[in-house]
Structures are given as C-alpha cells and as structure tokens.
A and B are shown apart, each in its own frame.
Chain A
Amino acid sequence: MTAWVECSGLAKQLGTKQVLSGLDLSVERGEILSILGPSGSGKTTLIRLIAGLADPDAGEIAIAGKTVFGPRTNTPIERRGVGYVFQDYAVWPHMTVAANVAFGLELAGLGRADRDIRVREALTSVDIAELADRFPDQLSGGQQQRLALARSLAMRPEVILLDEPLSNVDAALREHLRLEILQLVRAHNTTAIYITHDQSEAMALCDRLAVMQGGRLLQAGKPEELYRRPNSLFVASFLGGANVLQGEMENGVFTTQGLRLVSRSAAPGPAVDLVFRPEDAAPAEAHPENRLSGAVVACMFLGRCWRVTLRAADLMFQLDWPVQVMPSAILDFSVPPDRCALVPSGS
C-alpha cells in the first residue's frame, strides 16, 4: 500500500530562488509528521504545494490514493480535502465563532441541523463552545488558535496541515496548546503535517520527524533516531546542542588533534565529524576507551545539572555534569562509544 500523503520529485522556484528541489516525502495514514527547518528552508512552501495554495514546477502529489497534482492533474484547493491551520490563524473577522466553523460545512451541502451538531461538536472539542456567538476580535490569541483548529477539523479532512500554529502564542500558553493540539489530532485520528522551526516543539509533537534545509529533506525518521543518529552535521546541531569534532578515521578509530575516540556508528567516509551531546558525558571510568581530560573554563548552573565548558587539546567541549567544578581545575570524563555519531565532514 502506498502512503496516505505522497510527494515525489517536488520542485518550486520563487523568483530567482529555488525553494524546493527534487523533494520526496510520504506520510502514513493517521501519522503526525513534524517538519523542522530554519526559516527559508522551504517547509511552508512544501505544505502550500500540498494544499494547492501554490503549484509546483515539477513533481507529483497524491492524497488518500488520488493524484491531486501531476503532469495532467491539478485538483483545485477546495476539492483536495486538506485542512490548513495558518500561522496567524486567518479566522474570518466578519463571522462569529460558530459561523467560522459552519461556513465550510454549509458549502459542503450539510443541512442546518447537521451543521449545528457538527459546529457544536467541533467547538466543544476545543473547549470554546461557550464563545460560539462572539466575534474573533473578542477572543484571545489562544482561543483564535483553537477556533482555527476546530474550523479545520470539523471538515474531517484527509490530512491537516499546520503552519507554525504556535509561533504567535506566548511561551506560557505554547506548551499547553502543544499538548492540546496533539491530543485533538490524535482523537480525530487525522493525518497531520506540522511545520515548525522549534526543535523541542517538533520532537514533542510527532510520530515522525523530518528535517529540511535549503529546499531539501535531509533526514526523516523517529525523533529519537534523528537525535541519536543524525546523518549530517546540520541535523545533529539543529536538534539541540552538540559537541562537534572535525577529524579523520584511522583504522576504524576517530582521530583529531591527538585525541582518539571510538564510535559504534559506521563512518560515512574518510573525512568525518564526530558529534556527541553534552548530556552524554560520563565519568572517566565509565568508558575507559573514550577517556578525555581538559581544563575547565567556565561552569554554569542549569538547574538539573552544571554546564561545564572545558578545553582539551585546543578544542572546546560542553558537558552536563552532576556537580560543580571550579574553573581551571582539570576534569576527566568519557563519552559512550554508542553516543558518538559520525557524520560526513562539514555536512
């Protein structure tokens, strides 16, 4: 069986900039896929192409087994069965909350009674049923966001596309709404593609994570897999703080500036970068084969641990350490070989 949403060979140029090139992506039915990338990586363009809000220059898009864009097909937006939640919500300011949800149902030909039931249901599911008769300008940002979500879900779309829906919500509310969106989309058993540039949001919200850069999909998979086994320096560093060492492989051992580190991952070539995360640092005796030592430069309290910055053989390292260490002290530590990821140099 093919995927529920399938994009192949998508390319799009905007002005002189190639925004997407040869992009393949598939999403299974009921799956939540987060697409993570810096601004300008083409992620918003990608979901606009899927929705039909813009047309690709090349490639094919299929939703629920039907080709919606291809050499001979271009299904108009309104018949693709996609829901779209916009960054600034785009709730219609001249319609009440209920009318915002009812509009699409009316166009779908639902009778008054059915419509009222579906509107009620949708608003109840996002907890704003009591605001049905208000106008959007009387709602808070979070409430507008819920309305936008309810409006899309009420249409029971084949796939719902969320374009950084939390970027205009303040930090305190963001965490809460994040969980709510996740539960709602799961409860409706809807397939969803969620765009964001916030790595913690992306990892928290999805079944599968895809990282984009410069119009290409770099890596896709389970969040933990990407975090532990990035296939490029970009993925490694975009998913959180990482120590990056530039070096080369000698007899299966990573070498740089006189330091030698053993890694369980296969080397992608002769010139490689080794990546490990600050929280993977372990006591010196834990992994004697990967033992390092350096002079402490700074030590900051982070709450759950101390963040130690140290210098070893002219390289700077960041480690999460359980106890405070004084600057200029010498600290011995080790790195687990299975947490040392090797990526192509400079990727």
Chain B
Amino acid sequence: MRSGRGGDLAFTAAVLMGAGVLVALPLLLVLGQAVMPDLLDGTWPHISLAGLKQSLVNARSLTAISNTVELAVISATTATMLGFVYALMLARTDVPARRMLAATPWLIFLTPGYLKALAWVLLMSPAGYLEQFHLLPDGLSDAFFSIAGLVFVHTLNLFPLACFVIGGAMSGLGGEFEDAARTVGAGGRTAWWRINLPLLAPAVALAFLAIFAEVASDFGMASTIARTIDFGLLTYSIAVAIENFPVDFQLAGSEALVLLAMLSCALLLDRLLRRQRRLRLITGRSRAARVYALGPWRWMVGALALLVSLLAVYMPMAAIIARSMARTLGQGLVANNMTWRYLIEATSVGHPANAALLRSLGFAALTALICGSVALLLAWRLDQGGKVMRNAVLAIAVGSMAIPGVVMGLGYILVWDRLPGFEPTGLYGTWPLLVLGYVSSGLPYALVVILPAIGQISPSLMDAARLHGASSTTRLVRIILPLIALSLITAVLLVFARTVFELPISQLLQPTTGAPAPSVIVRYFGNDNDGIGSALSLLAILATGGSAGLLWLLSRALVRRAFGPGRAGELA
C-alpha cells in the first residue's frame, strides 16, 4: 500500500464514506424523518415537531413506550440479580460441576433469544409440554402469557451479560481489599458490605444498563411472545408501522427517536460510570479471592444452578427438538404422534423451509467473509495510522452495536427506497441490500475482535520485518496474518453465526425473491405451523453450530500445525 499524505487522505475518506453510508446516513434519515416529516418528499424540508407530537401522543405509542420502559427496568433488575448470584457462585464457592455451570452462560449467550422464546411458548401453552408432564401448576400458564413471562424469558436469556460483567469485576477485584479489611477487624459480612459491594457497585450498574439497553432494543421477544399477548413494545411497533399499509414512516421515525433517546441515556450513564477514577486502582493483578466452602449446601446450590441451565438452555432446546418430530403439540410425546415429516420437508431441496435455510446460510457466509476481510484491512491500516482514527473507528463500531436492528432496518429502507440518488439503484428489495444490512450489523463485532488482536502485535515486530526488507503487503501476509489467524477466524465465525439468526434486519429488508430463515421461522410459528418452524430452527442451529464449531476446531489445529503450539495465531 502507498503511504504518504495522499494515501492517508484517500483512506480516511474511504472510511468516512463507508461509515457514512452504512451507519450515519440511515440513522440521520430515521431521526430527520421524525422531526422533518417532508424530508424525503422532494420539497424543501422544514422542521416540525407537530408530527412527532401527534405520532407519540396516540394511545398505542404511549403504551409501547411505557411497556418498553417497564419491561426493560424489571428485566434488567432481575437479570442483574441472577447474574450477580451466578457470578458469585462461580467465582467464590466450591460448587460442584463448575466447568459445566461456567459453560452455561456462554451457551445461553450463543443461542438466539427469539428461538428460546418460541420454545417457551411450546413449553408453557395450555396444551404444551409442561402441562402434558403435569409440571405446570394451575395458573402459571396464564401468568406466563403476561409481562411476567416476558421478564422470565428475558432474565434467563440476559443474565449471562451480568454474569460476565460482574464476574470480570470480581476476578479483577481479587481478595486483597477484603483480606485487608479482615486484618483490621472486619468480619466476613462487614467486609462484603463495606468493601466488596461498594467496589462492585459500578459493575452492577454497568450490567444493569447493558441489559436495559438489550431489552429495550430487543426485537425477538417483542415480535413473538409480546405480540401474541398484545403487549406492545417499541421495536415491534416500529416494524408494524413500516410493514402495515399504509406505511407510516413518520410514526416509525418518531418511535425510533424515543427508543434511541432511551438507549443514549443508558450509553451516557455507562460512559460516566466507566470514568470513575477511583476504580483505576483495581488492577486485576491481585491475588485471587478465597473460595467459600459451602459444606452441606454445596449440592443444593449446584442443583439450583443446574435448574437455571435447564430452564435457560436445555429445556427450550429439548422442546424444539420434540416439536420438530411431533405431528401436533397437543397430542404429546407418544409414538403415534411422532413424525419425520417436518425434518424431511426442511431438508428437501425445493421446500420453502429448506430454501430459506440455504439462503440464510449463503447470505451469512458471504456476510462473514466480507466482514472478516474489511475488518482485517481496516484494522491493519488503522494500526499503521494515528491513534485518533483508530479510536474513532472503534467508537463508531461500538456505537453502532448499540443501534437496534429494527432502527437500522428502517434507516436502510429510508435510504434505499426513498432517498433521491439511492432509490434508482434498484437495490431495495434485493438480496444484496439484505447482505449490506447484515454487514453493517456484523462489521462492528468483527472489528471488536480483530482490532485488539492487531493492537497486541508489538510494533517492533513490524519494524524488524521492515528492516529485513518486507513490503507492506508482505508484512500483512507473512507477519500479521499468521499472528492473528485464529482471531480472524473467530471473528468470521462469530459474524456467520450471528447473521444466520439475525431477525429484525431479515424481517425489514426481506428480498422479494425469498425470505431468509429467521423471518420464515417467526412466520411459521405465527401461523401455527410450529412443527415445520421447529424443524427449521433445529436444522439452522445444527448447521450453524456444527459448521462453525468444526471450522473453528479445524482451523485451530491447522494454525497450531503451521505455526507451532505456542502463542502464534492466538493473540486475542
């Protein structure tokens, strides 16, 4: 690559253009639309809050706003509490089967939320699996199909986030602050109350905010369980405003504005918390804290943790497997109700379910390859340049991760269907636009994995290669690539798996030539075709999990064989 001022300028311009088209423009149009109703009408736009006010003061929007806040606050509270207890159990007790219990949060984190929500419907509905096994106390089914059920599923789905954040803080905190308190006379309880809890408080608050933002921007639960019980939420309301006829962009834009305002508040609080100077002394280098012996409670605590894993992962997965092999839900798990029909249909070429699956796998593979290459080139070029640009790109990446998929989808519709200059490209309604949407939502994740990996490579390694006469491209291929190979592959597979199950963008940017798997799955469940819906979900999970897992293991083995078992390829 050419260096020098000209090259730098061209590169900066390209990055800004990319970020502009992929993120900034769609977002600006969504926001602009809310306050300038005639923004895309071809006339000179004028600012008017009347439209915003009118759209937001209707009963449906107000309910959606209050429902979203209520659900997000309650779920964030319960999930943070569960995450705290779970992290404490893993970090500080001698609970049995720790390895398995420690894997649970990751399993939950890696399985898409809306599939688990759909599975819970199978489990909890009046004729569902729990009822069939007489495991469902009277009235619990009704309770599930209310805000309580939404809180329940969100809590099980999002407590891992709190577990990661708080668990990380606990291990960074170590045991010395507590030990120091003990030596000056504090009992165990006092040490927790006066030392550990105040020091962990920021992490707890960060976890709460992250979960709040996740729930508020969630589309999966909103368009499944919440929709069936008519519990209006902002994200779903935005999608409805676009999908219904006549399309109400004004309403969608106004609701998106409110949603973004909520998320910005959470993000702002998050930034403020992270600036807490006093916490800098927590170095993470300190000695690990002492483990409490639970004594006779050991097995009890282990059983409770196992119950959480069961409820959060294993039972929903079992329900999907069972339903994909049963003729009907109500007739239960008996021999004459078993059928291979749905699984056969979903694997038959030409069947709509199979077509959707193949389409999604293809789109996801393409998206992952694009994201991996772009992120690699970007990260490599950024690493050579100044810190400012690098931080700016990281900020854009992290910021755009916070934008809900449904808002991005809306923005893409506004850009490619309505914005003069873009609309004539004819991209709207085609699969390349869907892939572009996927790329914009996947690229930040790839960057977040690859940027730190490249950042870890010592500059002297590059200088040494340069002194030995390696050109810029040679350095990329012969030095950087081997060193970050595994991070790169991890990033590509992460984007692939995310994309196969990405719901809101799939829903809003469906190509006219055929819908991708996520929207087809949700549609099947919505139309009471949950048998084929479950079969499709199961196959999607197997295909994605299987291929991603296999590829990862294979590439790790290859990287190790090629570069030795040391740290090569594993800077992450």
Contacts and interface: CB of A to CB of B under 8 A. Distances in A.
Interface of A: 51-54, 76-79, 82-84, 86, 88, 90-94, 103-104, 107-108, 135-137, 148, 151-152, 155, 157
Interface of B: 176-177, 179-187, 190, 194-195, 198-199, 277-283, 285-286, 290
B183 A103 contact: no
Given A104-B186, A107-B190, A136-B278, A90 B283 contact: no
Contacts, number: 83
Nearest to A109: B185
A137 B183 contact: no
A223 B280 CA distance: 40
A197 to B, nearest CB: 16
B278 A107 contact: no
A201 B283 CA distance: 26
B199 A104 contact: no
B185 A107 contact: yes
B176 A86 contact: yes
Contacts of B285: 88
Given A90-B286, A91-B281, A94-B278, A108 B179 contact: no
A91 to B, nearest CB: 7
B195 A104 contact: no
10 contacts: A76-B187, A84-B180, A86-B176, A91-B281, A104-B185, A107-B185, A136-B278, A137-B280, A152-B184, A155-B183
Given A51-B183, A77-B179, 5 more contacts: A86-B180, A92-B181, A93-B282, A104-B185, A151-B180
B190 A90 contact: no
A137 B278 contact: yes
Given A78-B185, A103-B194, A108-B185, A92 B279 contact: no
B184 A93 contact: no
A100 to B, nearest CB: 9
A148 B181 CA distance: 11
Nearest to A105: B184
A240 B182 CA distance: 37
A54 B279 CA distance: 27
A93 B183 contact: no
B199 A93 contact: yes
Contacts of A151: 180, 184
Contacts of B198: 94
A135 B277 CA distance: 9
A135 B278 contact: yes
B281 A93 contact: yes
Contact of A53 (B177, B179, B190): B179
Given A86-B179, A137-B278, A137-B280, A92 B195 contact: yes
Contacts of B286: 88, 90
B187 A137 contact: no
A78 B188 CA distance: 9
A253 B181 CA distance: 58
B53 to A, nearest CB: 44
> Which of B185, B198, B199 counts the most chain A CB atoms within 10 A?
B185
Given A53-B179, A86-B176, A93 B279 contact: yes
Contacts of B281: 91, 93, 136-137
A121 to B, nearest CB: 16
